[in-house]
A and B are shown apart, each in its own frame.
Chain A
Amino acid sequence: MPLIEIKGASKGFGLPGSRTEVLKNINLSVEEGEFVVIVGYSGSGKSTLINLLSGLVKPDTGMALIEGEVITEPGPDRGLVFQNYSLLPWLTVEENIALAVDEVFKDWTPALRKEHIAKHIAMVKLSHAAHKLPKELSGGMRQRVSVARTLAMNPKVLLMDEPLSALDALTRAQLQDEISDIWMQNKTTVIWITNDPDEAILVADKVIPLLPTSPATLGETMIVDIERPRDRKAINHDPKFKKLRAELISTLLDAKGRNKVKSSVQISLPDILPEDLTYTNSLQFLNRTGPKRRSDNKREEVEVAA
């Protein structure tokens, strides 16, 4: 039985009449221990999809299931990581994580909880910053806290909604590697949403494109059969990587192209040339009425040739 799945789900927003259908006939099934990445354009419904799994949004039709049970509300068995970190600004790193741990593991002794928290802070390499406030941390460090907080709840599945989109390219690359390493150690089931095809192939076992049809549908699953740990430089030479990358990018771009409404409009491009404003002594426009035209140029050329 798959750990978490979506069966025939559709979702739309808005009142009848001005309603936008976002997702249509979504079927997704993720086994325990899998690392699945869903890639799609901004605004194509990726977050709605992950909100169906987290229980923040209920589908109009179909259902989302975890271990065979219908998902009706958020719960600690599904850990969420958001793009904007969502840390409490007045709590230190340790306290932010303690908030989740104390809530989920009420029956543990305080000592055990403390050890659990320290272990997760060490896992994301923030032991030196455990007593700092979020505002004293860089974006990358904040997102690490968010990942540690979520993992500390021992969730059955980790749902990541564009976790690295707000970070610069270097930090992004670093965190991709770190999260892959953590995943190799504990093999938590991960569903990760991104708009970066390279990121998807680098971290995932399975990549699923979210096609920007209107409403959006899931494309065919692509299996990433590249050994871990993956080296981001060496992977560029891997023929499997090249093939997957070309396939994924063209699938997404083609879907976008097909989705465009092809309407022919009549537009005309006037045959005018710009006036030379850079040099104050070029006042040729005083000797003619109207703008320079390309056809005038052609006439001139003919004269020169004769």
Chain B
Amino acid sequence: MSAILPMLELDRLWKTYDTPKGPMTIVKDFNLKLKEGEFATLIGHSGCGKSTVLMMVAGLSDPSNGNMILAGREASGPGPDRGIVFQSPCLLPWMTAFENVMLGVNQVYFTASKMERRQMAEYYLTIVGLGDAMHKYPGELSQGMRQRVGIARAFALQPKMLLLDEPFGMLDSLTRYELQEVLLELWRRNRITTLMVTHDVDEAIFLSDRVVMMTDGPEAEVGDILQIPFERPRNRKQIMEDPRYYELRERLITFLNDKSHIRPSRDPKFVPSPDMAAELATHASPFPAAAA
């Protein structure tokens, strides 16, 4: 595959639901391209349609219109080439952590030996810090540990893309910081293209290469894009003491508080930020609705 092709291309994606009051468009003309090995985050207010976009990429919800191209192929329906981590880890309670991970591993590595499949699950569970607890049942694990299993399960399949839907939303702040480090450690070893949804500004800055800000729904689209310049591997202390950190934080908070109602495609006075302009330049007709 050519390196120029993006790993994921979302082209004029629409999602419309039928309601008793007529059709309701949640997401309209959503355009985004992710490079291979990029970690991008979708941020926006609750209910703006971030998770809708993610669920469409996951194949759990069909787009009403538009194209979704994953690794050069039209994507439809869910599949093991896209690993998902939900807000709650969704483990099968009658299986141990190890068995939960093996469930997917057995599917995608069915041509490998039993030994290799075991090693695969053990490797990822050890890296997330469950080396001693991998044969425990979900009921015996804390919320944070269960989410570690969820992360290990997604990475063990070596998917083309990783989709994270507010993966740390249910955890307290200190456990959240810990798990962010766990996620980055795995990601450092295997840079899977990642799309994450969050509403935590600090989390977005600490983890991602690019933060994609979504406008308010309905008819949500990409409102602005911010490139995060920190080098990897990242150190939380260094980043928190970096003056740029608070500038970036300020920009995201300002967008969420004051600018999230501005829809670039319909505002003639919209001036894209440099990062947003760079993204727009990669699309043939970024604002088809305005042109029509």
Cβ-based interface call for B21 (8 A): no
Within 8 Å CB of A276, what residues of B?
81
Whether A290 and B111, one on each chain, are in contact in the complex, defined by CB atoms closer than 8 angstroms, is yes
What's the Cα separation between A237 and B253 when bound, in Å?
A: 12
Name B230-256 residues within 8 Å CB distance of A: 236-237, 240-241, 246, 249-250, 253
Q: Which of A16-24, A98-106, A175-183, A243-251 contacts B (4 or more CB under 8 A)?
A: A243-251
What's the Cα separation between A272 and B174 when bound, in Å?
A: 35
Whether A245 and B240, one on each chain, are in contact in the complex, defined by CB atoms closer than 8 angstroms, is yes
Instruction: Please tell me which one of the listed residues B108, B113, B142 contacts residue A274 in the complex, with CB atoms under 8 A apart.
Output: B108
Within 8 Å CB of A250, what residues of B?
236-237, 240
Whether B123 and A42, one on each chain, are in contact in the complex, defined by CB atoms closer than 8 angstroms, is no
Whether A275 and B111, one on each chain, are in contact in the complex, defined by CB atoms closer than 8 angstroms, is yes
For chain A, the bracket of interface size reads 35 or more
Within 8 Å CB of B173, what residues of A?
195-198
- A195 and chain B: residue at smallest CB distance: B172
Cβ-based interface call for B270 (8 A): no
- A261 and chain B: residue at smallest CB distance: B132
Chain B at the A interface: mostly helix, strand, loop or mixed? helix
**Chain B nearest CB: distance from A29 CB in Å?**
25
Whether A42 and B142, one on each chain, are in contact in the complex, defined by CB atoms closer than 8 angstroms, is yes
Whether A42 and B116, one on each chain, are in contact in the complex, defined by CB atoms closer than 8 angstroms, is no
Cβ-based interface call for B178 (8 A): yes
Within 8 Å CB of B119, what residues of A?
267-270
Whether A272 and B109, one on each chain, are in contact in the complex, defined by CB atoms closer than 8 angstroms, is yes
Whether A274 and B80, one on each chain, are in contact in the complex, defined by CB atoms closer than 8 angstroms, is yes
Within 8 Å CB of B75, what residues of A?
278
Whether A272 and B81, one on each chain, are in contact in the complex, defined by CB atoms closer than 8 angstroms, is no
Instruction: Please tell me which one of the listed residues A246, A249, A270 contacts residue B177 in the complex, with CB atoms under 8 A apart.
Output: A249
Within 8 Å CB of A196, what residues of B?
172-174
Whether A252 and B174, one on each chain, are in contact in the complex, defined by CB atoms closer than 8 angstroms, is yes
Cβ-based interface call for A14 (8 A): no
Whether A41 and B126, one on each chain, are in contact in the complex, defined by CB atoms closer than 8 angstroms, is no
Within 8 Å CB of B93, what residues of A?
none
What's the Cα separation between A250 and B240 when bound, in Å?
A: 10
Cβ-based interface call for B281 (8 A): no
Within 8 Å CB of A268, what residues of B?
119, 123
Chain A at the B interface: mostly helix, strand, loop or mixed? loop
- A293 and chain B: residue at smallest CB distance: B112
What's the Cα separation between A292 and B2 when bound, in Å?
A: 20
Cβ-based interface call for B175 (8 A): yes
- B240 and chain A: residue at smallest CB distance: A246
Proximity bits, A250-269, B CB within 8 Å = 1, else 0: 10110010000000010111
Within 8 Å CB of A270, what residues of B?
112, 116-117, 119-120, 123
Within 8 Å CB of B126, what residues of A?
265, 267
Whether A42 and B172, one on each chain, are in contact in the complex, defined by CB atoms closer than 8 angstroms, is yes
Whether A285 and B111, one on each chain, are in contact in the complex, defined by CB atoms closer than 8 angstroms, is yes
Whether B240 and A249, one on each chain, are in contact in the complex, defined by CB atoms closer than 8 angstroms, is yes
Cβ-based interface call for B282 (8 A): no
**Chain A nearest CB: distance from B179 CB in Å?**
12
Given contacts A195-B172, A274-B158, contact A267 B116 (CB under 8 A): no
Given contacts A196-B172, A253-B177, A253-B178, contact A242 B246 (CB under 8 A): yes
Within 8 Å CB of B158, what residues of A?
273-274
- B243 and chain A: residue at smallest CB distance: A242
What's the Cα separation between A291 and B110 when bound, in Å?
A: 8
- B202 and chain A: residue at smallest CB distance: A198
Given contacts A42-B175, A277-B79, contact A246 B122 (CB under 8 A): no
Cβ-based interface call for A165 (8 A): yes
Name A213-240 residues within 8 Å CB distance of B: 236-237
| 6 examples of A-B residue contacts, CB within 8 angstroms | A42-B175, A246-B241, A249-B237, A250-B237, A250-B240, A270-B112
Can you list the 6 inter-chain pairs with the closest CB atoms, starting with the nearest?
A278-B79, A274-B108, A270-B116, A291-B112, A246-B240, A291-B111
| 19 extra interface residue pairs, beta carbon distance < 8 Å, beyond A195-B175, A242-B240 | A39-B174, A165-B172, A195-B174, A198-B173, A236-B249, A242-B246, A249-B237, A249-B240, A270-B120, A272-B112, A274-B80, A274-B108, A275-B109, A277-B108, A278-B75, A278-B80, A278-B81, A285-B111, A291-B116
